[in-house]
Amino acid sequence: MSEQLLIESLERYFNDEMLPEEKAYFEQMRQDNPELDQMVVTHKIFMGKMAEFAERQKLMTQLSSTHDHLLEKGAIAEDQKKISKGKIRQLWHRYKKTTAIAACIAGLTALIISGVISTFGPASRQTIELLSRDIEQLKKTQDYQYTQIKEATKLPEGAVVKSGGSAFMIDGKGYLLTNAHVLKGSSAVVANADGQEFKTSIVYVDHAKDLAVLKITDSDYEPVKTLPYDLKSTSVNLGAEVFTLGYPRNDITYNKGYLSAVSGFDGDTSTVQISLLANPGNSGGPVFNRYGDIIGILSTREANAQGVTFAIKSKEIVQSLESWNDKDTSAVNAAVLNGSRNLKGMNRENQLKSLQQYVYNVKAYN
């Protein structure tokens, strides 16, 4: 038997293609001839290796074609941005349209619901707003003021006004009380009813009560000995007539109203509700009773209702000043503001003439 024939026989033998008699004969030959047997064994090993090799090659081809196929389909990606988000991106691509539609519906629903809630629902926390003037408005007034009394301004060159409001004097040495939220920048200048400006420094801030004290540091300021009002820390009655002075615009503005509830927003006992038209810029302004004594400081108003304004009670102011006094010897003594009452019995115009000198316009800047 030539070797070629032998190999062919071997292959037929391994592939089980031999007839039974032939197979028996071949096996007999293997037994008789160890050389042949050795050859069969090595060839078998070789064919096995070859088959494995063939399979491996096939798998490798299959894997790389799978890779290309999936890449094309977008099931896997070789892009830095898409990486490790393969699945999500894939889902995104698949559901892009559905998601967009769903988002539209959700957005619309949200709008409708919020509309319904704001129309019919009870007032929420967000419906009160601070009464400090916003920046846009201030820019306008600032420009106006620059053209009017350019020389008089004490704002430093290039200063950006952040917010503004009102303040009133609590000590003739130049201490002014205002809301903490009025002082958004790092410093502030104040202007009196005549438009004269003074530099100040912030000497005390009580964020919890939303109160702050400014001290006029300007040499142009002439201290006053006594103030025409006191800080009435006793309770006030429902329906009491009140009025306020403030700077919702650059000229001092008067407004009057009445005490409409003894508690503030959402039953807040540190504030009172006043029925009074107040505007941004009124923040920090004093609330006077009809005798010209201070019963609080204007701070917030309800956004959704006209004329519903809240003022921090004077009792809170006194407490805040006292706790400052406990910690700091340079603090204002709240007792200074006691027992003057010299505007009692005056008509309103005369009261205002006297009071307006002590109410200041605050411009906080950076």
Partner 1 sequence: MNSDQREQQLLRGLAENDTKAIQTIYAGNFSLIQALVLNNNGSYDDARDVFQEAMVILYEKARKSDFQLTCQLRTYLYAISKRLWLKKLKHHGLFVSNTELSLLEPVIPVEEDLEMAEKKDEEFEVMESAFAKLGEPCKSLLEAFYIQKKSMSDLVEIFGYTNTDNAKNQKYKCLMRLKKLFFAQYSK
Q: Does 103 sit near partner 1 (CB under 8 A)?
A: no
Amino acid identity, position 303: A
Residue from 1, 41, 63, 335 in contact with partner 1 (CB under 8 A)? 63
Residue from 28, 38, 64, 226 in contact with partner 1 (CB under 8 A)? 64
- Tally of CB atoms within 10 A around 287: 31
Which residue, among 235, 243, 241, has the nearest Cα to 168 in the 3D structure?
A: 243
Distance of alpha carbon 66 from alpha carbon 363, whole angstroms: 70
Residue from 69, 96, 344, 353 in contact with partner 1 (CB under 8 A)? 69
- Tally of CB atoms within 10 A around 51: 11
With beta carbons less than 8 A apart as the criterion, state whether 255 and 307 touch.
Answer: no
Q: Which stretch binds partner 1 (CB under 8 A): 47-55, 223-231, 259-267, 314-322?
A: 47-55
Q: Given its phi and psi angles, is residue 158 left (phi above 0), alpha (psi -120 to 50 degrees) or beta?
A: left
Amino acid identity, position 268: D
Helix 3-14 with 20-32: angle, nearest 10 deg = 120
Q: How far is CA 76 from the centre of its chain?
A: 39
Q: Is the dihedral of CA 104, 106, 109, 111 positive or negative?
A: negative
Q: Does 44 sit near partner 1 (CB under 8 A)?
A: no
Taking the complex as a whole, the smallest distance from the CB of residue 48 to partner 1 amounts, in Å, to 10
Q: What percentage of the chain's residues is helix, strand, coil (to nearest 5)?
A: 45, 25, 35
Amino acid identity, position 299: S
Which residue, among 175, 354, 179, 160, has the nearest Cα to 278 in the 3D structure?
A: 179
Residue from 33, 41, 44, 67 in contact with partner 1 (CB under 8 A)? 67
Taking the complex as a whole, the smallest distance from the CB of residue 136 to partner 1 amounts, in Å, to 48
Residue closer to partner 1 (CB basis): 8 or 220: 8
67 phi and psi angles, rounded to 5 deg: -55, -50
Q: Which stretch binds partner 1 (CB under 8 A): 3-11, 121-129, 182-190, 318-326?
A: 3-11
Contact code string over 70-99 relative to partner 1, x by CB under 8 A: x----xxxx----xx-xx------------
Residues from 4 through 23 that contact partner 1 (CB under 8 A):
4, 7-8
Q: Which stretch binds partner 1 (CB under 8 A): 46-54, 112-120, 289-297, 316-324?
A: 46-54
Taking the complex as a whole, the smallest distance from the CB of residue 273 to partner 1 amounts, in Å, to 58
Contact code string over 294-333 relative to partner 1, x by CB under 8 A: ----------------------------------------
Taking the complex as a whole, the smallest distance from the CB of residue 40 to partner 1 amounts, in Å, to 13
With beta carbons less than 8 A apart as the criterion, state whether 318 and 213 touch.
Answer: no
Residue from 28, 33, 38, 42 in contact with partner 1 (CB under 8 A)? 42
Q: Does 106 sit near partner 1 (CB under 8 A)?
A: no
Taking the complex as a whole, the smallest distance from the CB of residue 59 to partner 1 amounts, in Å, to 6
- For strands 175-178 and 211-216, give the pairing: antiparallel
Taking the complex as a whole, the smallest distance from the CB of residue 23 to partner 1 amounts, in Å, to 21
Residues that bind partner 1 (CB under 8 A): 3-4, 7-8, 42-43, 46, 49-60, 62-64, 66-67, 69-70, 75-78, 83-84, 86-87
